[in-house]
Chains A and B, each alone.
Chain A
Amino acid sequence: MESKHVHEQIAAMRQSFFNEEVLNENFSQLEQLEGKDNPNFVEEVFTMYLRDSIAFLETIEEAMKTIPIDSIKMDSILHQLKGSSASVGANKVLKEVNKTRQVLGKGNLERTKASILELRKEYDSFKAKLEPYFQLKQANSVAQEK
């Protein structure tokens, strides 16, 4: 069945996220919070997360351009990004955030820049993976309602 097929596809996608460690168990926690009265809770959370984190990343990238870099501010933003990434279960993004904070802490400008690039890449990849997943889910749930 179409819906069943899509359903399986969604499940497979989801599993792959865990396998690749793009997502961790916190994501499952969020899923558990989802219920009948808020079926799109996870998606809402992710939408919010993606929106906020892109803003953070852009701020960080901007901050890297100033000389000397405002490490305090950057660390503050990274700290926030760490909290939200951890809460949604964005595993790889979280790891990159931690790495960046570490490097930033050591004061190595070049490595910090490189790390931020990595972080950005990871974020983009994360977004590219999760968005279709949610879209599919959404489409599927709508289809199922029919």
Chain B
Amino acid sequence: MNSSSGKSYMSTASSSVLWKAGGDVVADQFPAGLRVLLVDDDPTCLMILEKMLKACQYNVTKCNRAETALSMLRENRNGFDIVISDVHMPDMDGFKLLEHIGLEMDLPVIMMSADDGKNVVMKGVTHGACDYLIKPVRIEALKNIWQHVVRKRKNEWKDFEQSGSVEEGDRQPKQSEDADYSSSANEGNWKSSKRRKDDEDENDERDDTSTLKKPRVVWSVELHQQFVAAVNQLGIEKAVPKKILELMNVPGLTRENVASHLQKYRLYLRRLSGVSQHPSNLNNSFMNPQDATFGPLDLQALAATGQLPAQSLATLQAAGLGRSTAKSGIPMPLIDQRNIFSFENPKLRFGEAQQQHVSNNKQTNLLHGIPTTMEPKQLAGLHHTAQSMGNMNMPVLSHGSQSSQNNPLLMQMAQPQARGQMLNDSTVGLASRLLSPRGQSMLSNGMATNVSTRNGVPENIRAPSYNPVSQTSSMLNFPMNHTSELPGNSFPLVSTPGISSLAPKVASQEDVNSEIKGSVGFMPSYDIFNDLNQHKPQNWELQNVGMMFNSSQHSNSLQGNLDHTQSILVQQGFLSGQNRNSTVISKAMFSAGDSTGHVNAQNSNQHLNSLLDNTVRVKSERVADAAPANLYPDHFGQEDLMSAFLKQQDIIAPAENNDFDFDGYSIDNIPV
């Protein structure tokens, strides 16, 4: 079996062929030589696992950072057969990595963690992990991981065959098609220029394709943008792969690729809006192909950062991140967040001031086109935003700047949080709101801007944004730092008090962070979210969709953000679900004193209530006083979430949110 992880395409091809051959050739060798990519930030575990895998006669490549792993995979997509990753990593959430891999490379991924909580395991399932191992991992558990590789290949093969028969008209004989595909694929993703592989890779690809695997299309940001543009042009309801393919007019792209991508996209949208409505609208508006300035890594980092709420942005900026701070910095991330919807923006997110401007503008424009009221689109937008926010959080960590502090928070929070629909909804709402011109300057201006925005679009904010806001708020709760950024810039969240407060707080992010930390310190809230997430399978779905979508976006950060956002939102959603609970949770989150913020949450997530119940109990007392003044009972989930979220944000930026409908939470009250 080839030893190198992918350098030698020949060996790779041969091994692939061997495996693909269905076993007769490799039977005696397989699963020896299985190429495993091991990702874990803990050196002790990494060492032990590597040893164990080697003892199983696998070909092991280890790395201690998710970013490294991802770039390794991107550079050498066919160099690995399976990925084993830890859930808990400092630079990137394991689930985010999982999403990326799933969307971009479609490799089987096994998650592992010392956590055996049902929630986390469920998260693994919903994010598409093919297995979940609890640490300490026993060698016996590793002995059979090859089954996931075989299973996946088998499925791919089946799909391939099926699609092949369906698309007979579209395709030429497999061999030639593959050849075409491979070559065009090379050109294609070619756009994102993931790899500069030459023919060798193509051959490899061809081999895989023809025998067992479908050619893997990398949905670069550009490609995805084209895709979304095509979908929007056709209208999501009418978008059929064939037509999309025609519109896209990308050589080498097959109807099948488009079909599967469309499927993921649809799921993603559905998640965003909570209903499969016209997500495409949202995408349209948000798709501002601004980015592209970021390199892949940058993208991730930036995107992640960019997606982070204003706070994060601020934090990052403060931390000295050059990029985002370019201009106000804040506007950018916000924009990015919005752009997240479009997936293209991840790059934009951070650091590219100009781009952001542009994107901002564009977004703004788009916003105009988008109804301000909460609509599925908005929801989707919010979702995106939320996601981006979430993503932002992630990257923030990687930056290691101050945000890192926040990040852990974020990450922690984001992880356990289910991405649920709530998140999406809120994101959407927020996003739409954000689109309104104000968003851009929101962050920088902080409250002021937010306020104005809010004032500017009270209606929007109220009803529709309300939900999203609350959701966002909840999301933001965790990454206080991040959230502020969100509201300020891109999200309509701005309208929500919570968010805006966060945004302006950029400067005081540290404070906020600490506050948040303090509040977050409560494990319960943290746990609550976890619990909540668990209970909300839908959320998971949403997250997954988002994730899938994100992956296709090709912007890691985006995905990350989305995930985060989603998770955060979901969390929020959970919180808001319960009147009492949500309040509690919100409180827990911030440990903020005001319950008002929570109130919003309450309304939004009725379903969350159930979840919250258990967790919330702890905090009920605290929250009890929360006055659901601002909650709009009518708005569920997202809106509430948003409002709750926003409220929380308000807390972060105390005093400033007073104008808003939402009662601000005062983070200061965080008791630890």
User: Are A and B part of the same complex?
Assistant: yes
- The CA-CA distance from A26 to B514 in the complex, in Å, is 38
- The CA-CA distance from A89 to B44 in the complex, in Å, is 12
- The answer to whether B44 touches A86, judged by C-beta atoms less than 8 angstroms apart, is no
- The answer to whether B42 touches A73, judged by C-beta atoms less than 8 angstroms apart, is no
- The answer to whether A72 touches B524, judged by C-beta atoms less than 8 angstroms apart, is no
From known contacts A72-B521, A75-B523, infer whether A29 and B409 are also in contact, taking CB-CB under 8 Å. no
Q: Which residues of chain B are within 8 angstroms of A75 by Cβ–Cβ distance?
A: 412, 523, 526
- The answer to whether A76 touches B672, judged by C-beta atoms less than 8 angstroms apart, is no
Not counting A89-B136, A105-B523, a sample of 4 additional A-B residue pairs whose C-beta atoms are within 8 angstroms of each other reads A45-B47, A49-B44, A73-B517, A101-B523
In the assembled complex, the CB of B60 is this many whole angstroms from the nearest CB of chain A, namely 13
Tell whether A116 is near chain B: CB-to-CB under 8 Å: no
- The answer to whether A52 touches B44, judged by C-beta atoms less than 8 angstroms apart, is yes
From known contacts A29-B138, A67-B672, A69-B672, infer whether A83 and B114 are also in contact, taking CB-CB under 8 Å. yes
Q: Which residues of chain B are within 8 angstroms of A11 by Cβ–Cβ distance?
A: none
CB proximity to A under 8 Å, residues B517-537: 517-518, 520-524, 526-527
- The answer to whether B136 touches A71, judged by C-beta atoms less than 8 angstroms apart, is no
From known contacts A86-B136, A88-B48, infer whether A76 and B526 are also in contact, taking CB-CB under 8 Å. no
Name the residue on A nearest B520 (C-beta).
Answer: A72
- Checking A72, A76, A84, A109 against B44 with a beta-carbon cut-off of 8 angstroms, the contacting residue is A84
- The answer to whether B42 touches A69, judged by C-beta atoms less than 8 angstroms apart, is no
Tell whether A106 is near chain B: CB-to-CB under 8 Å: yes
- The CA-CA distance from A106 to B51 in the complex, in Å, is 37
Residues in chain B within 8 A of chain A (CB atoms)? 41-45, 47-48, 51-52, 55, 86, 88, 113-115, 135-139, 405, 408-409, 411-413, 514, 517-518, 520-524, 526-527, 670-672
In the assembled complex, the CB of A95 is this many whole angstroms from the nearest CB of chain B, namely 13
In the assembled complex, the CB of B134 is this many whole angstroms from the nearest CB of chain A, namely 9
In the assembled complex, the CB of A7 is this many whole angstroms from the nearest CB of chain B, namely 24
- The answer to whether B526 touches A45, judged by C-beta atoms less than 8 angstroms apart, is no
Leading 10 A-B pairs by shortest Cβ distance: A105-B523, A71-B521, A68-B672, A68-B518, A83-B114, A86-B136, A84-B44, A87-B136, A82-B114, A70-B517
In the assembled complex, the CB of A25 is this many whole angstroms from the nearest CB of chain B, namely 9
Q: Which residues of chain B are within 8 angstroms of A49 by Cβ–Cβ distance?
A: 44
In the assembled complex, the CB of A138 is this many whole angstroms from the nearest CB of chain B, namely 18
- The CA-CA distance from A76 to B413 in the complex, in Å, is 11
- The CA-CA distance from A25 to B56 in the complex, in Å, is 19
Q: Which residues of chain B are within 8 angstroms of A68 by Cβ–Cβ distance?
A: 514, 517-518, 521, 670-672
Q: Which residues of chain B are within 8 angstroms of A79 by Cβ–Cβ distance?
A: 88, 114-115
Q: Which residues of chain B are within 8 angstroms of A48 by Cβ–Cβ distance?
A: 43-44, 47
- The answer to whether A76 touches B88, judged by C-beta atoms less than 8 angstroms apart, is yes
Could you count the A-B residue pairs with CB atoms below 8 Å apart for me: how many are there? 118
Q: Which residues of chain A are within 8 angstroms of B135 by Cβ–Cβ distance?
A: 82-83, 86-87
Name the residue on B nearest A109 (C-beta).
Answer: B672
CB proximity to B under 8 Å, residues A81-100: 82-84, 86-89
Q: Which residues of chain A are within 8 angstroms of B86 by Cβ–Cβ distance?
A: 83
- The CA-CA distance from A121 to B520 in the complex, in Å, is 28
Q: Which residues of chain B are within 8 angstroms of A73 by Cβ–Cβ distance?
A: 405, 408-409, 517
- The answer to whether B48 touches A72, judged by C-beta atoms less than 8 angstroms apart, is no
CB proximity to B under 8 Å, residues A54-80: 67-73, 75-76, 79-80
Tell whether A30 is near chain B: CB-to-CB under 8 Å: yes
Q: Which residues of chain B are within 8 angstroms of A107 by Cβ–Cβ distance?
A: 521-524, 672
- The CA-CA distance from A48 to B520 in the complex, in Å, is 31
- The answer to whether A72 touches B45, judged by C-beta atoms less than 8 angstroms apart, is no
- The CA-CA distance from A48 to B518 in the complex, in Å, is 32
Name the residue on B nearest A24 (C-beta).
Answer: B136
Q: Which residues of chain A are within 8 angstroms of B138 by Cβ–Cβ distance?
A: 26, 29
- The CA-CA distance from A107 to B527 in the complex, in Å, is 12
- The answer to whether A87 touches B672, judged by C-beta atoms less than 8 angstroms apart, is no
- The CA-CA distance from A58 to B83 in the complex, in Å, is 32
- The answer to whether B522 touches A33, judged by C-beta atoms less than 8 angstroms apart, is no
- The CA-CA distance from A82 to B86 in the complex, in Å, is 13
- The answer to whether B48 touches A45, judged by C-beta atoms less than 8 angstroms apart, is yes
Q: Which residues of chain B are within 8 angstroms of A18 by Cβ–Cβ distance?
A: none
- The answer to whether A106 touches B523, judged by C-beta atoms less than 8 angstroms apart, is yes
Name the residue on A nearest B138 (C-beta).
Answer: A29
Q: Can you spell out 16 A-B residue pairs with CB atoms less than 8 angstroms apart?
A: A33-B55, A69-B518, A69-B672, A70-B517, A71-B517, A71-B522, A71-B526, A73-B517, A82-B135, A83-B45, A83-B113, A83-B136, A84-B44, A86-B114, A107-B523, A109-B672
Name the residue on B nearest A82 (C-beta).
Answer: B114
Tell whether A23 is near chain B: CB-to-CB under 8 Å: no
- Checking A30, A83, A89, A105 against B526 with a beta-carbon cut-off of 8 angstroms, the contacting residue is A105
- The answer to whether A33 touches B44, judged by C-beta atoms less than 8 angstroms apart, is no
Name the residue on A nearest B415 (C-beta).
Answer: A76
- The CA-CA distance from A75 to B672 in the complex, in Å, is 14
CB proximity to B under 8 Å, residues A12-38: 26, 29-30, 32-33, 38
Chain B CB count within 10 A is highest, among A67, A75, A89, for: A75
- The CA-CA distance from A89 to B136 in the complex, in Å, is 8
Name the residue on A nearest B113 (C-beta).
Answer: A83
Tell whether A41 is near chain B: CB-to-CB under 8 Å: yes
Q: Which residues of chain B are within 8 angstroms of A72 by Cβ–Cβ distance?
A: 408-409, 412-413, 517, 520-521, 526
Tell whether A130 is near chain B: CB-to-CB under 8 Å: no
In the assembled complex, the CB of A66 is this many whole angstroms from the nearest CB of chain B, namely 8
- The answer to whether A83 touches B42, judged by C-beta atoms less than 8 angstroms apart, is yes
In the assembled complex, the CB of B422 is this many whole angstroms from the nearest CB of chain A, namely 21
